[in-house]
Every structure is written in structure tokens, then in C-alpha cells.
Amino acid sequence: MKTSKWSNDLALLNQIASMLRLADSVLKRTIEHSQAQGYTEHLEEHRARLAEVEEKLIEVNEELQGLCLLHEAAILTGNYTESRPG
């Protein structure tokens, strides 16, 4: 596999993971704030969304780990080629 393919895939997965971590943080703060202010109307909805975000973050992290392992295996077996620009 070429370097640019690995780099693009890793960059994309890292961006997705960053966005999910941000969403996770915002939802947790929203839940904490809502509880502190006594707003219970949307708490279950926020908790459900938080669970979805956490599940997706686990999936993305597993994909990242898998891609890193494949990358390492490609290097070790000699199936790794560097792409040259242009």
C-alpha cells in the first residue's frame, strides 16, 4: 500500500475521532449543566446521544488501531511502498 493512502486514511480517522471526542465533551457538559440547573426535560435524549457518540468513538479507535497494525505488517512483510508526488 502506498504512503499517501495510509496517511489519508489515518488523517481522516483521526479527524473523525477528534470530532467525536468534542461531541462527547459537549454532551457531558450539557448533561452536567442541565442536572445542575434542574432541567430534566432533555436529559434522556442527551444521554442517548452520548451513548451513541461513545460507541462510535470506540469503533473509530478500533479502526485506527487496525489500520496501524496493517501498516506495520505491510512494512514488516515488504508490501509497503512509498508514493512519490507528481
* Any domain includes 84: no
The alpha carbon of 70 is separated from its chain's Cα centroid by a whole number of angstroms, namely 18
User: DSSP letter at 38?
Assistant: T
In a domain, residue 85? The reply is: no
pLDDT of residue 14: 93
For residue 43, give its domain range. 3-77
- pLDDT tens across the length of the chain (86 residues): 556 777 788 899 999 999 999 999 999 999 999 999 999 889 999 999 999 999 999 999 999 999 888 888 888 888 766 554 44
Number of domains the chain contains: 1
Q: Is 86 domain-assigned?
A: no
Looking at residue 85, its pLDDT comes to 47
